[in-house]
Amino acid sequence: MTSTSAPKKIPSDLAISEAENRAFARLEEAFGDTLWAMLRHYIRAGETISEHLSEAVLCAHWQEAVRLALELGAAGAPFAFSEIDAAAKAFAASVYEGNTAHARRNAAQMVVFEFEKTTLMLQSRYPGLVES
């Protein structure tokens, strides 16, 4: 996900909601300048996990892929990034229910998509947070 291109413009349907604004205002109040470092660490770790998740799915290492997806979902919990966690749980269910490899890949792609969407939202709220 790391790119040397200009920052992506966030589509209006991915813009920060009023509820998210309030949640981040509370986080900013509680953590101050530390929040920036925490979010930057989350994004870096999430990019690495996403890459490993994609590799595991490509190699059909489903158990490892589930572990990575759930790790990515759990990593966003302190920030209330519930969409990533929900996508990770849906992917895990797809694997455990024995769905086709195609359905599993699609579910795994949704986990990565939700992480990327969240990263764009954070970039919108905190310009410069995501390094080029």
Q: What is the DSSP string of 66-79?
A: HHHHHHHHHHTGGG
Which pLDDT score is estimated for 26? 87
How much is the pLDDT for 74?
Answer: 94
Residue 61 lies in a domain: yes
> Which range of residues forms the domain containing residue 116?
33-125
**Which segments in the chain show pLDDT lower than 70?**
1-16, 132
Residue 22 forms part of a structural domain:
no
Does the residue 3 lie in any domain? Answer: no
Rounded to the nearest 5°, which phi and psi values hold at 9? Answer: -80, 130
Please tell me the distance from the alpha carbon of residue 80 to that of residue 94, in angstroms, as a whole number.
23
Q: Residue 14: what pLDDT?
A: 58
Residue 48 located in a structural domain: yes
| Cα distance between residue 65 and residue 72, in whole Å | 11
Task: Give the pLDDT confidence score for residue 2 in this predicted structure.
Answer: 40
Tell me what pLDDT residue 6 has: 47
C-alpha to C-alpha distance for 11 and 117, rounded to whole angstroms: 10
Number of domains comprising the chain: 1
Q: pTM surpassing 0.85?
A: no
